[in-house]
Amino acid sequence: MSLANADALDCPLHSVRPLSPPPNMIRHTVAFKLKHPAGSAAEQEFLAAARRLATIPTVQNFEALRQTGQKNNFDFGLSMEFSSAADYQGYNQHPDHVHFVQTRWLPEVAEFLELDYEPLSGV
């Protein structure tokens, strides 16, 4: 059966709704461009180090992303979620995050845009 035929069978796929995020959830995102040449070993080493941020206990739904659009100058993105502002603050102060920022982010990132979101209530 194809999804196109799901209507005819009163398929429960039409009743599936995305789960609402917890009201206190924080989504931390950053888009960035590295100083390293594209495809270089240094670029790959930086991205591997960034992926290790996912092991910090309060981090949820971590993603390392490659930019595909041409509407900005960034090449990569990181996205992660936190159950609360307190968990996000804990991440910011965690020794592994502080070390990454000092030893990798500041010396290796050419430019970035950081955006932090929380869910809109009632939407």
Structural domain includes residue 13: no
Structural domain includes residue 44: yes
What's the Cα-to-Cα distance from 72 to each of 37, 104, 113, rounded to whole Å? 18, 23, 11
Domain of residue 92 covers 31-75+85-118
Q: What is the pLDDT of residue 21?
A: 58
Strand partners, 29: 79, 115
Q: Please provide the average confidence, as pLDDT, over all residues in the chain.
A: 87
Q: In a 10 Å sphere around its CB, with 0-12 CB exposed, 13-18 middle and 19+ buried, how is residue 37 labelled?
A: exposed
The pair phi, psi for residue 111, each rounded to 5°, is -160, 155
Structural domain includes residue 50: yes
How much is the average pLDDT of 62-86? 96
Q: What is the pLDDT of residue 62?
A: 98
Number of domains observed in the structure of the chain: 1
CATH number, residue 47: 3.30.70.100
